[in-house]
Chains A and B, each alone.
Chain A
Amino acid sequence: GQNIDQPTEMTATEGAIVQINCTYQTSGFNGLFWYQQHAGEAPTFLSYNVLDGLEEKGRFSSFLSRSKGYSYLLLKELQMKDSASYLCAVLDSNYQLIWGAGTKLIIKP
């Protein structure tokens, strides 16, 4: 079966750095997405990785290792508004999106 694993919840301090991991086992791979979702709102796109390596976009970076079936989202200089759920999703060989359950990130002052 296809599976995406992420930690259920993480806590970090304002101004710090946090890394949210995502491991996947899917039938084929055509890219990995990270979305941010504030409580009760729609997910918004953060990043897309299809090749190995690190993609940096401001305070957020996303890393992919296809051989390890692994990705992480790195958030720097954390702000209170970063409190949200972070969803990892993989596009499989049929171009269907497989979603993880999301990681709830709690930022403390």
Chain B
Amino acid sequence: DGGITQSPKYLFRKEGQNVTLSCEQNLNHDAMYWYRQDPGQGLRLIYYSQIVNDFQKGDIAEGYSVSREKKESFPLTVTSAQKNPTAFYLCASTPPGSDTGELFFGEGSRLTVL
């Protein structure tokens, strides 16, 4: 079945460590996104990519980095520069030529910094 796969589902990290969250999709979607979700707040856009080898900063890109070497893959690295990284991270994609821009989400990765 087609979909978006995020891994790991749960991740614990010590302060000062970088961690990479995986996002893979087999939907043949061009555009991919990373969001952060915190309790009591709306989803906030970290980075997005409309095409391979190109990506743009979202509203809260500081302390994060991404790559888009393949259409199917859009990994997110949470660096030690991110001051408050504990959150639920969601990867999403949209199909090409979508009239509505409907997002398809992965299951999410919950990162906890100890």
Contacts and interface: CB of A to CB of B under 8 A. Distances in A.
Contacts of B75: none
A13 to B, nearest CB: 25
Nearest to B40: A101
Contacts of A43: 43, 90, 103, 105
A42 B23 CA distance: 13
B108 A98 contact: no
A96 interface: yes
A42 B105 contact: yes
A35 B107 CA distance: 14
A48 B45 CA distance: 20
Contacts of B40: 8, 101
Contacts of A41: 107-108
Given A31-B101, A33-B102, A42-B106, A87 B45 contact: no
Range class of the B interface residue count: 10 to 19
Interface residues of A, number: 24
A100 B42 contact: yes
Contact of A87 (B42, B100, B101, B108): B42
A29 to B, nearest CB: 13
A87 B107 contact: no
A96 B45 contact: yes
Given A43-B105, A95-B101, A101 B41 contact: yes
A40 B100 contact: no
A27 interface: no
A40 B44 CA distance: 17
A99 interface: yes
Interface in A44-91: 44-45, 48, 50, 87, 89, 91
B42 A101 contact: yes
Given A40-B108, A42-B107, A43-B90, A102 B102 contact: no
A33 to B, nearest CB: 7
9 contacts: A4-B42, A31-B101, A45-B102, A45-B104, A87-B42, A95-B101, A97-B101, A101-B40, A101-B42
